[in-house]
Amino acid sequence: MSALAPLLDLADVATALDGARAYVDAALRHRALRRSGGPVAAEIGLRSAVASAALEGHPHDREEVRSGTVTDPVLQGALRASGALDGLVPTWRRAPRQVLAKLHVLTASDVVAPDLLGRPTADPTVAARLDTLARLVVDDDAPALLLAAVVHGELLALRPFEGTNGVVARAAARLCLIARGLDPRGLLAVDVGHLAREPEYVGAAGAFATGTPDGLRSWLRHYAEAVRLAAAEIGAVGDALLS
C-alpha cells in the first residue's frame, strides 16, 4: 500500500485528481499531437519555463523570451531545466537526490555562488526529509498526480537549496509526471496552471507546509486544478498550430 494513500481519503482529493487525470487523457488525444508533437512539446516547454520564472518573481513577456532577447539568469535557468527533463528521467527513477542537485545546477547557475550549486543545506532535518522524499519517488506506487503534488509541495516547504528552490520544485514535479508515464512527452505545462492561480498557489503551498489535513487537502486540490489548466493549454497550443 502506498504511504501516500491516506491523502486520497481527504475530502474531494481523489475526485479532484481523478478529474484532472481525465482532462489530461483527453488532451493527449488532441489531433495536433499526431503530426506536430515536436512543435507542441517545444512550445509547452517554453511556456512552462516562462511561468516558472514568473512564479519565482521574474516575469517576462513570452514573445520576448521566444525572440531570445531575455538574458535574466532565472528565466534562462528555467529554460535549461525544462529542456533537460527528458534526459533526466532514467536517473530520477533510481537516484532522485542526484537529479535534484542537477536541477539546482541548471537553474541556479549565475544566480548563486558556484560553490553552492547542487549542494543542499546541511540541516539534518532537511536531509532526512529529502531522503524520505527520494524513497517515495523510487519505491512508492502512488498515482502520478499525487506523487508529483507531494514532491512539489515538500520541496517548496523544505527549500533545500540556495536560490531557485521554486524552479527546482516545479521541474521535479514535471519529472514525476513524465517518469510515471502520465505525461511521457512532457506536454503538461503545470506551471502555467500555477501561475494562472498564483495567489491560490502561494496560499496552498503555505498550507501544505503546515502538514495539517486541511493544509494538505488545499494543496492537492489546487494541484489538480493546475493540471486541468495545463491540459487545456495543450489544446490551445494544438489548436493554434492547426489553424
Contact 22, 228 (CB under 8 A): no
pLDDT (average), residues 199-209: 98
The answer to whether the beta carbons of residues 167 and 201 sit under 8 Å apart is: no
Give the pLDDT band of residue 214 (cuts 50, 70, 90).
very high
- Yes or no: say if 38 and 162 are a contact pair by the CB < 8 Å rule: no
- Looking at the predicted structure, is the pLDDT value of residue 1 above 80? no
* Interval 59-70: pLDDT, tens: 999 999 999 999
CATH superfamily membership of 5-242: Fido-like domain (1.10.3290.10)
DSSP reduced 3-state for 160: coil
Structure confidence by residue, pLDDT tens digits, 94-107? 999 999 999 999 99
Q: What is the pLDDT of residue 193?
A: 98
Q: Compute the mean pLDDT over every residue in the chain, rounded to the nearest whole number.
A: 96
> 43 with 74: CB under 8 angstroms?
no
